[in-house]
Amino acid sequence: MDADVPGRVVIFDTTLRDGEQAPGFSLRHEAKLRFARTLDELGVDVIEAGFPIASEDDFEAVRDVAREVRRPAIAALARSVPRDIDRAGEALAGAARPRMHVFIATSDLHLSRKLGMTRDQALEAAVTGVERARRFADDIEFSAEDATRSDPDFLAEMVAAVVGAGATTVNLPDTVGYSVPEEIRAMFRAVRQRLPEGRPVVLSAHCHNDLGLAVANSLAAMEGGARQIECTVNGIGERAGNASVEELAMALKVRGDRLPFTTGVRTSVLFAASQLLSELTGEAVQANKAIVGRNAFAHEAGIHQDGLLKDRRTYEIMRAEDVGRPSTTLVLGKHSGRHALRARCEALKVTLSRLELDELYRAMIRRAEVCKVVEDGDLLDLVGELRRAGPQPVAAAPSPAPSRRSRWESPVTIEEPGYGFGV
Ligand code: KIV
Ligand code: ZN
């Protein structure tokens, strides 16, 4: 893969491991396999398919994904203990490109309160874990859990030790989403400066979203030298989730002027991946979620709709089509204006005189006050009522009335302005 190009960032998708670990998001192994195929289409570089020691079903998921999905590397997670590592290795046996992912905590809080270990014991466990993982693969990732709350000198010592033992990727997670961008950028810079010489290693960021900073922290980590980002579709993951792949990929695409990094993500598959994940987990995406939420490309306010109809760049920084969505949607609600109403009517092949538009507009606002959103079917009903009541018939095209569709399927075609944003 062209992940060796400077500025090319490896996308490590952990939807099927960290994401799936979150309450309500668990997936059976058949569903994982189905989703892994979509991740392959999406173009991610690494799919973390599960934590094989956790359950028989997770073992089978990793095994089946490894056997079937051949382009991306397939990763399996293991604590730095022999039985986890052997189980992960067994699950990855059929993989074209296996990646063993071994982790241990490095913060004093986790070492003393959770693991009851000293720093020296953790160092030894990490080194023997990485060495053992090498029995199963050459591609070894080591994660220093709670890295952002670890002592910087101990973290640097741990990184040097695992790289010496054969780790090819070192992940520095913000496990509890505590970091801020400035800090994480500095942490990556410091670790990079202290890397042992002569051993190529990729530094990786894995940011949780407890303060809503996972994507910002991941971007800052790239500036500090991270060249792998761990993320999930829809940002799912432990607690408030992980950095969302759709937000990262589009931030890099839309703001390439400030963020000189590229990924292999096919952004036109983002929406389908998001929808499939929702379907498989039964968990809806928040309406205002960036990129993939129901409202991410929907506009109701009259001023915005008017601007969009004149030039979509007034209120949109990317095209819905670029993320695989049908199109921009102008929602008809009580904040909408006549310009949007006319555009929707034209899309429905209903031609209105000025007077008819005014009447329909008033009727539409009254309807919207009651039902929030006026769908195409409601609008056609209103047109019919006006036609029956009004002195002047509303001229409709001879073609059959469109079927009732959800507002997601009723795009309004907006003239293409030609974006100057490199999208
Ligand atoms: O958040 C975390 O630290 C993790 C590691 C296991 C990578 O998920
Ligand atoms: Zn995590």
Q: Output the domain CATH number for residue 85.
A: 3.20.20.70
Tell me, what's the pLDDT at 329? 80
Q: HSE-up of 240 (CA within 13 Å, CB side)?
A: 15
Q: Residue 170: inside a domain, yes or no? A: yes
Tell me, what's the pLDDT at 403? 39
> Are 377 and 246 in the same domain?
no
Q: Select from 143, 178, 203, 239 the residue to mutate for testing ligand 1; criterion: most ligand atoms less than 8 Å from CB.
A: 143
Q: What is the pLDDT of residues 373-415, one digit of tens each?
A: 999 999 999 999 998 886 654 455 444 444 333 333 334 445 4
> Are 189 and 336 in the same domain?
no
Q: What is the pLDDT of residues 84-116, one digit of tens each?
A: 999 999 999 999 999 999 999 999 999 999 999
Number of domains in the chain: 2
Burial of 399 (0-12, 13-18, 19+ CB in 10 A): exposed
**C-alpha to C-alpha distance for 319 and 304, rounded to whole angstroms:** 15
Shortest-distance Cα residue to atom 1 of ligand 1: 175
> Are 46 and 107 in the same domain?
yes
Q: Select from 99, 102, 145, 158 the residue to mutate for testing ligand 1; criterion: most ligand atoms less than 8 Å from CB.
A: 145
Q: What is the pLDDT of residues 174-195, one digit of tens each?
A: 999 999 999 999 999 999 999 9
Q: Residue 218: inside a domain, yes or no? A: yes
Å from CA of 394 to ligand 1 middle: 62
Tell me, what's the pLDDT at 5? 60
> Are 73 and 215 in the same domain?
yes
> Are 312 and 244 in the same domain?
no
> Are 249 and 325 in the same domain?
no
Query: Which of 222, 251, 281 is at the close of a domain?
Result: 281
> Are 187 and 239 in the same domain?
yes
Shortest-distance Cα residue to atom 2 of ligand 1: 175
* β-strands 169-174, 139-145 pairing: parallel
Q: What is the pLDDT of residues 257-312, one digit of tens each?
A: 999 999 999 999 999 999 999 999 999 999 999 999 999 999 999 999 999 999 99
Domain boundaries, position 304: 298-389
Residue 89 has which token pair? 């290795």
Q: What is the pLDDT of residues 204-232, one digit of tens each?
A: 999 999 999 999 999 999 999 999 999 99
**C-alpha to C-alpha distance for 119 and 113, rounded to whole angstroms:** 13
Residue 172, beta-bridge partner list: 205
At 154 the three-state DSSP class reads helix
Residue among 55, 125, 137 at smallest CA distance from 96: 137
